[in-house]
Structure 1
Amino acid sequence: MASAGLGEELKCSVCVSLYTDPVTLKCGHNFCRVCIDHILDIQDQESRVYSCPECTTKFQERPALQKNITLFNVVENFLSTHQDEAVIFCTYCVDSPVPAVRSCLMCEASLCDKHLKVHSKGPDHVLTDPSTSLENRKCPIHKEVLKYYCTKDAICICVSCLKDEEHRRHRVETLIKASEKKKKKMGDFLQKLTTKREKTEERVQSLEEHRKKAQENAVGEAKRVTALFTDIRRRVDDLEKRILSEISRQEEKMSLSLSDVIQNLEIKKNELSRKMRDIEELCNMTDPLTVLLDPDTCDLCDPEEEGGDEDTGGHDGGDRGLELISHILSDIFRGLNATFYGQDPADILLDINTAGNNLLISDDLKTATWTEGNQNNRETAKRFQNYHQAMSCRGFSSGRHYWDVEMSRTGVCRVGMCYPSIDRGGDQSVIGDNNKSWGLYGGQGSNNQCSVKHNRKETQLPHQIFSDRFRICLDYEAGRLSFYELCDPIRHLHTFTTTFTEPLHAALWVCGSSIKILGGKEQLWGT
């Protein structure tokens, strides 16, 4: 061990112990002050010739002893760091304590290098590393050295224990063999622990990566929500300015109009007052001829028959302006509702067993493409005889859901939802041409306009459509089926309101075009 090697370097060559008050001679060798003083005193008495006891370098005068402060600090530091380590000294070195290098279990003594050379080499004298607890290595009953291991009782025993009745028929092994077996078991167990620790480290690493990914996703979602609400606040502020401006414009327009009406009514009121005064004067006259011949009273009529409510100018007190504002707010809140309609799109897959023979369904069951050739699909009870139509595998009988589609600019498309009991043949089976389906459709020649249809009743939408992506939102319990244009901002197109009586399936109709059901990362809005 490194500490043991350092301990050897810190020993005085005279007393073979750790330096005590180390000093240095001119030749560079170090000794304990007491040790080197004792040797120099002997040299002074015998020959008055001084020399280093280690390298025999001679000095003309008794050398001055210089304290080695660095070595002193090293020894002190070594002693402080090894104060818990018991230093075992040779049992036979009485005059000066010398560290032991081996211990004899038979003699129960510790030996330095010098005494180890003359120690008995007999087999009974078992040597071990220096130890102060030699009694623990002997049998507590027979006081003999422990040499065997009883596998049944799992204890170490001596030679005499083998003769006892207690261990006579037990399986015993030498300490070395038993130790090797135990080391092998511990090695196998250590290998299992190592494997388990590696798996645990892999699991920790996987969880750390998962946590990091979750944190990154959370940061991304926070940024997305922050941007969304920033945009909403901007739009609300713009809306507030528009509404306040409209209110101010309506108020100014109404005020000017009412000022004209009030002015006309004031003129009329003054005219009526004049007539009233003239009539009162005539009523007070006593000459009947004057009363009858007065030109202003020749044609008397009911004042209410002359003007009535038309003099108010037809104003309704601003209700029309408030109604306009109400419509604007309604559109805005419908758009916000569409934005937060659901966090994830419904997983819509087309049922290939319902697809008409002119529809080619993609392998991922997300795209329906019109083809001129007949697909010659196997006839099933669910298949539409109308060659252009298909519906989804999944139906919804509760909750709120939405799904998005992308329509090709060419051809004609219809998209919507239907009951599973919809007819599979005839014109009445087309989406919107019966009371079991609701649809949005448009295409070439429509001048960028779409229509919605239910039970053959068609409603032309007033908006021009510029996007090729649409959202269909279902609130089953509320009985609402809504269609939105996925533009920026999202725009509400139409909402059907009814009471649903069957599960609703997604449905589409394609002619000379294709429709793709969007999902996941392909979402344009709400992703």
Structure 2
Amino acid sequence: MASAILNDELLCSICLSIFKAPVMLRCGHNFCRVCIDRVLDTQDESGVYCCPDCREEFQERPALMRNIYLHNVAERFLVTQKEQEEITGICCTYCVDSPVPAVRSCLHCEASLCEKHLRAHSKSPEHVLSDPSTSLEKRKCSVHKKILEYYCTEDAACICVSCSLAGEHRGHRVEMLDEASEKKKTKLRNVLQNLKTKRDDIEERVQRMEKQRRKAQEKASGEAERVTALCTDIRRRVDDLEKKVLSEISRQEKEESLPLSALIHQLEIKKDELSRKMRHIEKLCNMTDPLTVLQEPDTGDLCDPEEEGGDEDTGGHDKQLHDGGDLDVAVISHTLHTLCEVITGIGSGIYVEGPADILLDVNTAGNNLLISDDLKTATCTERDQNRPETAERFQCNQVMSRRGFTSGRHYWDVEISRSGKWIVGMCYPSIDRRWQSLIGENNKSWSLWRYNNQYSVIHDRIEIRLPDKISSDRFRICLDYEAGQLSFYELCDPIRHLHTFTAAFSEPLHAALYVYNGSIKILGGSSSRKNPS
């Protein structure tokens, strides 16, 4: 292998032979001197010279620099290659003075012959010639020492004539070696074709799996980017909400602290005044001279002249402390509730984009609904489709899907072609098919309506109007069968939750559409576990 690689590196790109007197151009590429001179001679007329390998142009005819190192390597390689050929080649058995390559081998003589000795070799039939070989003894019978000429089909062995006539293979069915060889080659070709077919099948499967793996990797990469962006946005919102809550707490703390500090200061002054008066009275009480005690002002004068009013003031401050001492929990709770809504919004991300698996059932479509060939679009039309009236066909402009769901989490997206009255949702297969049985107008269906530019969600004739403005024409319906939840989302940026119905589902749920004008198209859907009814 290394010799083959070296051989490729020592080839002139012009003559494709080992370099002879290699020279190098300024761009670094090497050629035989004779080869590059011929090329440059042909470029003399145009006056533009360029390298045959990299096409780098030279203003003047480039000077040729002799590559001595490459010349030595090429010479050494040629010598080594010649020595190896002489060592590994099959030489004539009779040329003992100097080795001469053999051109044929004689199986009878067990000798290899050059051209000279081959001309003088016996031409008798027992002298069988073959391509030069070093293992001539393997072409003779190990028992009779005769040439193997036949093939025993019963024992699957190559035998000589003596084995067939008098040996252990006597009476067996035999074939000539060439005939047996062709038969085996035919079988081998059939085996080869079968193996090739299997290999091609495996290769095709590998390619399909590689394609699926690339799709999975691309999908995972896209989802990772989407989740990263979503989490980044959530962290930003959480940080903003945290700052808002902490700021509100700090503001309320300041509002409460300032009046309390003033009240504390007033009470401290009053406490000091009372302490001073108490010390003076205690001093009078400890005097032994009655005259001195009696000459002091009346003890009533030592009391605070505004004591009664002070009690009222203190009571007012206490009332203020009691009424305003707590934080405004309502404001903080509202802010934290907003945070919960942000986190809840992540729920829309549990569904992964996937291939559409919801097809409309023409057998249930009303006769004024045109269903597309791919069973994805329902269009209102004035032309009656003249479908046969059956028990499963809706009398109004409704249609439901072929597939129903009895477990797992699933979603499907729709696109509305024009504004007007339309309904999307899910229903039980037991829903009534008469005119008055619209999706949501019974206890067997749940729906999102648009009528008179007003959006509502309806179940069992109970309507809940959606107050938020809706501008998108794309919507998502998500089903979590085990959890008993059917949710509707507006496919805006970011996706917006509209409403979630909660129920204990008792039948398979089918996608359902009502089209008053325009059309509704199913864009796609996915499931966390596919289990159609």
Shorter-chain TM-score category? 0.5 to 0.7
Does the 8 Å contact 1:369/1:514 carry over to 2? yes
Does the 8 Å contact 1:406/1:470 carry over to 2? yes
CA distance in 2, matches of 1:225, 1:520: 16
Secondary structure of 1:519 counterpart:
strand
Q: From the superposition, tell whether residues 308 and 481 of structure 1 become closer, same or farther in structure 2 (CA, over 3 Å).
A: farther
From the CA coordinates, give the structure whose radius of gyration is larger: 1
CA distance in 1, matches of 2:430, 2:96: 112
Q: Which residue matches 1:8?
A: none
The letter for the 2-side match of 1:321 is V
- Given the alignment, which residue of 440, 445, 450 partners 1:437? 445
The letter for the 2-side match of 1:157 is C
CA RMSD across the alignment? 4.9
Cα offset for 1:336? 0.8
1:89 and 2:93 are equivalent in the alignment = yes
* Cα deviation code 1:263-315 (max 9, x no counterpart): 89779989x99xx9xxxxxxxxxxxxxxxxx99989x99x99x9997875578
CA distance in 2, matches of 1:251, 1:71: 90
Q: From the superposition, tell whether residues 86 and 335 of structure 1 become closer, same or farther in structure 2 (CA, over 3 Å).
A: same
Q: Which residue matches 2:425?
A: 416
1:347 and 2:357 are equivalent in the alignment = yes
Does the 8 Å contact 1:409/1:513 carry over to 2? yes
CA distance in 2, matches of 1:367, 1:228: 29
Work out the number of aligned pairs and report it. 424
Give the unaligned 5+ runs of structure 2: 1-73, 275-304, 527-533
Deviation larger for 456-465 or 363-372: 363-372
Q: From the superposition, tell whether residues 478 and 85 of structure 1 become closer, same or farther in structure 2 (CA, over 3 Å).
A: same
Q: Which residue matches 1:360?
A: 370
Q: Which residue matches 1:399?
A: 408
Cα offset for 1:142? 6.2
Secondary structure of 2:501 counterpart:
strand
Secondary structure of 2:464 counterpart:
strand
CA distance in 2, matches of 1:238, 1:216: 33
Cα offset for 1:261? 6.5
Cα offset for 1:492? 1.0
Q: Which residue matches 1:326?
A: 336
1:472 and 2:477 are equivalent in the alignment = yes
Does the 8 Å contact 2:91/2:100 carry over to 1? no
CA distance in 1, matches of 2:205, 2:465: 55
Give identity over the alignment, percent. 47
Does the 8 Å contact 1:88/1:131 carry over to 2? no
Q: From the superposition, tell whether residues 471 and 316 of structure 1 become closer, same or farther in structure 2 (CA, over 3 Å).
A: farther
Cα offset for 1:193? 4.8
Cα offset for 1:239? 0.4
* Cα deviation code 1:198-237 (max 9, x no counterpart): 4355346435534543453244234313321331233123
Give the unaligned 5+ runs of structure 1: 1-69, 277-293, 522-527
- Given the alignment, which residue of 512, 518, 524 partners 1:519? 524
Does the 8 Å contact 2:90/2:132 carry over to 1? no
The letter for the 2-side match of 1:245 is K
CA distance in 1, matches of 2:447, 2:96: 112
CA distance in 2, matches of 1:169, 1:139: 18
1:482 and 2:487 are equivalent in the alignment = yes
Cα offset for 1:454? 2.2
Does the 8 Å contact 2:366/2:394 carry over to 1? yes
The letter for the 1-side match of 2:517 is G
Secondary structure of 1:423 counterpart:
coil
- Superposed counterparts of 1:185-196, under 5 Å: 185-196=183-194
Cα offset for 1:345? 6.8
Q: Which residue matches 1:497?
A: 502
Cα offset for 1:242? 2.4
1:221 and 2:201 are equivalent in the alignment = no
Q: Which residue matches 2:466?
A: 461
Q: Which residue matches 2:256?
A: 258
TM (norm. structure 2) is 0.63
Does the 8 Å contact 1:88/1:132 carry over to 2? no
Q: From the superposition, tell whether residues 213 and 110 of structure 1 become closer, same or farther in structure 2 (CA, over 3 Å).
A: closer
